[in-house]
Chain A
């Protein structure tokens, strides 16, 4: 780990910056016919101003729900949210719907996965871009329109003035996602949550959207939470990475530390399954066998035990491992650590991703 990743490492240690969002013991559960399903269990993190946190995991790991639940964007009931989440001075989880309406979109912006369905086909994009601003910032129609033009320009839509009155179907997928990003940013939120924001896009467009958000983040100083199942997407931009499995955090560390020296077998598995361009040595991609446990059928011991290829401790099968700090800022939920040479081989993929030829980090350096 050297070169362009260096400046990120510096920011990792930057503990003086202001905490924007502080989440403690966040739990989300749903009432089902077969009892309560604990979808998210005991999550803690602090998000700093300007920081990028990546939450990584398979579908069903609880990564999306954990952020949607912050502003109660999940159906309640059957859902239930516990713990605290302080944004500035207020605990979001204690707010009612009437107050949350002023947080959503205003202080926390969202970008969702599928640009083809995120926009309402029957309204112009101008309408969809300005309605939030008019509601939250009490802008007049003209003011909102001016700002919308400015925003569209910022997210890289050519001749924004003219495109404002177009309908979503007149845009390509990538362009639509730019519009969705513009909507997410429209009220200058303190936090932007990008929920699988590039998953539905082709590789080239993915990179463009990632760069776009990273660039805007540096301009605006907001914090970004990237939610993805693909470590490769966030390798180049994340300051910190939180790996989730079956509703729990299994590993959390600074990006450089995590990609360089992963310690949880699940993280190692995720890294090993990343494709590497031009790599012929590793042979077939090593996918993790099996499926994650359902939220109503969690195993007694470690949640990952049934799929784990290490299981280096007798307690794995019977006891839930605690989240322990192995080095400062690096948390792992396991009784042992994956040996260093295994971890290194697995993380080969990210070395390429972190050191991109086009040096994404120019702005930071």
Chain B
């Protein structure tokens, strides 16, 4: 177990180093002078010089990287080309919104996928299985932003039950926060739920076909008991893994849903930075999201190892 944790953590650290290089390279791959491009028509020599100096763009490349990396490690991601404000504080201000949406979407996804996946596996080949599999097939093919638009069209514009967009912090107004959370969470949650449904179904089916389940039946254990202790208990392991990976995907990939619902999260921040050519902000956002993504993946793998006694022991 110890060696596995060490090896897996080492891998993640290596990937993280690679990620940092790619993110650092972003600003240097932009054709032309990124600061000049960013300032555009607002060009002002004084501001220009200050930004160049602050970003260290006048230094040798390796030194720049070193400074940027050590800065990032201590929480300093530079200042925005647009606002001159520290990128880190801007990111931290957006993080809660993204986390809230991602967890809410995962919750909706699991609410759909666990019953749908388990029932369709247990009733394999029955109408309910076809219904669940059909839902999953539709769900993985539907573009989430379109689904979001349709939800807005129906529930916000036509029926007027829910607000169409905007993020409100649950600390300020819990009721309004939840009302605004519902549509985006359902949008991202249905797609997540479809992906998870397929996975839960196949995991349960695989667990059901195991030889030890046959022995449990031959032992005379009741079906309900077998489902709980010999099928689901075993299927949990891959399901927990994939759920963790989905959370990582949601945290990193929820950009589109954030845009549909004008949700002030990290994804929308990253997109705005692209449009405004605010490269330090983009770098910061990409780095933060990639780090979250990697760390969750790492946690998932380690959790997997804990859940499976075979790995724990070896």
Contacts and interface: CB of A to CB of B under 8 A. Distances in A.
Interface residues of B, number: 24
Contacts of A180: 215
Interface string B199-228: 000000000001110111111111101000
Contact of A122 (B220, B221, B309): B309
B49 interface: no
B212 A104 contact: no
A135 B220 contact: yes
B218 A119 contact: no
B42 interface: no
A254 to B, nearest CB: 29
A45 to B, nearest CB: 20
B157 interface: no
B24 to A, nearest CB: 44
Interface string B56-93: 00000000000000000000000000000000000000
Interface stretch (B169-177, B230-238, B296-304): B230-238
Contacts, number: 79
A132 B233 contact: no
Contacts of A170: 313
Interface string A170-191: 1000000000100100000000
A195 to B, nearest CB: 9
B11 to A, nearest CB: 24
A112 B237 contact: no
B313 A112 contact: no
Contacts of A211: none
Q: Which of B217, B229, B310 has the most CB atoms of chain A within a 10 A radius of its CB?
A: B217
A106 B211 CA distance: 19
A284 to B, nearest CB: 35
B218 A73 contact: yes
B210 A117 contact: yes
Nearest to A167: B309
A172 to B, nearest CB: 14
Contact of B211 (A118, A167, A183): A118
B40 to A, nearest CB: 60
B213 to A, nearest CB: 8
Interface in A107-132: 110, 112, 114, 117-123, 131-132
12 contacts: A71-B218, A73-B214, A102-B220, A118-B211, A122-B307, A122-B309, A131-B219, A131-B221, A135-B220, A167-B309, A169-B313, A170-B313
